[in-house]
Amino acid sequence: ADGGVHGVADAVARGRGIRCDFCGRRGATLGCFDRRCRRSFHLLCAHVTSNDVCSLVRVPDDDGDSFTLPGREGRYRLYCAGHASAVRR
């Protein structure tokens, strides 16, 4: 595609009702990539807590179901701590 960010307004509206599993506040827009998991996080909480509560797992650069982070190379998926350990095996 064009490399732009899509669906931001929809994600923000959806996130208003979702609590972050790290800080407990509403507005969590990033969920664990495991589709069965209900854990969600704010981007900043995910970045700060990486590995304690959730993990940013680097994936191949051509992975379309991933995202980039400012100041970090590569593409990532977010997993809660329990599912990240299964992915890294």
Question: Over 70: is that where the pLDDT of 89 sits?
Answer: no
Torsion of CA 20, 37, 58, 9, to 10 degrees: -50
pLDDT one-digit tens code per residue, 5-62? 566 677 667 767 899 999 999 999 889 999 999 999 998 888 887 667 888 888 999 9
What's the pLDDT score for residue 2?
Answer: 53
CA 78/CA 57 separation, integer angstroms: 6
Provide the whole-model pTM: 0.74
What's the pLDDT score for residue 24?
Answer: 95
